[in-house]
Every structure is written in structure tokens, then in C-alpha cells.
Chains A and B, each alone.
Chain A
Amino acid sequence: EVQLVESGGGLVQPGRSLKLSCVASGFTFSNYGMNWIRQAPGKGLEWVAYISSGSSYIYYAETVKGRFTISRDNAKNTLYLQMTSLRSEDTALYYCARLDGYGFAYWGQGTLVTVSS
């Protein structure tokens, strides 16, 4: 069974940093591109970042480019999102999601990031 388990969220002050993790199991992690997708409270879905299976290709949403860094450790089956210079508008539930030829086929349960003073 495919499982994605996010962690690392919490309450953080504006301008500070936070690092999210997503541990994958039930599939060969190193074979798949992975994404971070976020959802602000009561709002829709916003794609944040993508990393290819071997980390050769990385893309970011314009809203986070230069502040967030996506990375992965295939030996640990873990996806990361380093977030710096956080803003109130970054407050959201952050999901990791596996990208298949089908689309975003599997999602974690999300980890909540709240940016507030």
C-alpha cells in the first residue's frame, strides 16, 4: 500500500524558516517524481514544487521561488521542503503527492504550517 506521511509543520513567525518532510513507503520511491501541494484554510489547491526521481529536474511556483527548496533522499525514501522567509500567505496544509502518468495519484494526509506572530 502506498503511504506518504508528512511532518514538520507548526506555528512559525513571519520571516523564519521551517523544514517539512514526507516519508514514502509501499512503492519504489526513487522511481517517481514528487511534489508539494498546499491548501490554505478553506481554499483550493496550489501546486508548490516538483522534483524528478533523480533530482535532475526541479520546478517551483512563482509564489515560492527563491524562498523554498525541494529536495529528496532516495536512500531514506524521504522528500523535503525547506521553507525560508515565511509569510502569512504561506499558511496552509502542505501535502506531498506522487506524480504518475495519471496525475497526482497519491497524497499524504498533510502537515499544517501556520505563519503568525
Chain B
Amino acid sequence: DVVMTQTPVSLSVSLGGQVSISCRSSQSLVHNNGNTYLSWYLQKPGQSPQLLIYKVSNRFSGISDRFSGSGSGTDFTLKISRVEPDDLGVYYCGQGTQYPPTFGSGTKLEIK
């Protein structure tokens, strides 16, 4: 199985600040079809996960441009700019290139 390693485990940021979350996969996430199926999800307290970013850098419908994804191969980053109170929660990266789909262990974002 592809192992997804997220860092840091947690981070604290001031409102209006910027944070980066790293996600590294144990194998390349480039599919045979040329796509890279790396997604980012946010699970707000008491809620189901929601899709933020798909295929590395594409924002899902309704997602603010304060969220951006980048990376390639095995190294990926989620950046959140101008952090707002509603951004708190646990962020997960996930891969869908190889079965079984796997997720990182999560990064908890707290607001200072």
C-alpha cells in the first residue's frame, strides 16, 4: 500500500497568517494515464471530511482561493493563506492513484 506521511502533526497559526502542510507518498502518485490523484480534505470538528483540492492543485467547487495545492511525484504541499477561524480542523492528504486508496494521518490546525 502507498504510505502517506504528513507533517507537521499539528500547527498553530494567527488569524490572517499563512501555513503550509506537507504530504509525502512512499511511491510516485503519477498514474499511467498521466494524472496525479492527490487530494486534500478538511475535517472540521464534529463534521465529515470535505474535499478541498483534487489532482494536486485543483480547487473543488466552492473552495476559497486561499487554499492552494502544489507538488509532484511524491512530495506535495497544501498552503492556506489569510487563515480564518473557519479553517480550523484536521487536514488530510489522500491518494487515489493506486488501490487501496490511502490517507495521511492528518494535521491539526489550531488558531492562536
Contacts and interface: CB of A to CB of B under 8 A. Distances in A.
A108 B50 CA distance: 10
Interface in A75-117: 95, 99-110
A35 to B, nearest CB: 8
A104 B100 contact: no
Interface in B67-112: 92, 94, 96, 99-106
Nearest to B95: A103
Nearest to B6: A44
A47 B60 contact: no
B96 A103 contact: yes
Contacts of A100: 54
B30 interface: no
Main SS of the interface on chain B?
loop
A73 interface: no
B94 A46 contact: no
B57 interface: no
Main SS of the interface on chain A?
strand
Interface string B23-59: 0000000000000010101000000111100110010
Contact of A104 (B41, B58, B104, B105): B41
B108 to A, nearest CB: 11
B105 A103 contact: no
A27 interface: no
Contacts of A101: 54
Contacts of A106: 51
In the A-B complex, list the 3 residue pairs whose CB atoms are closest, starting with the nearest.
A103-B39, A102-B54, A107-B48
10 contacts: A44-B92, A47-B100, A50-B101, A95-B48, A102-B51, A102-B54, A102-B60, A104-B94, A104-B101, A109-B48
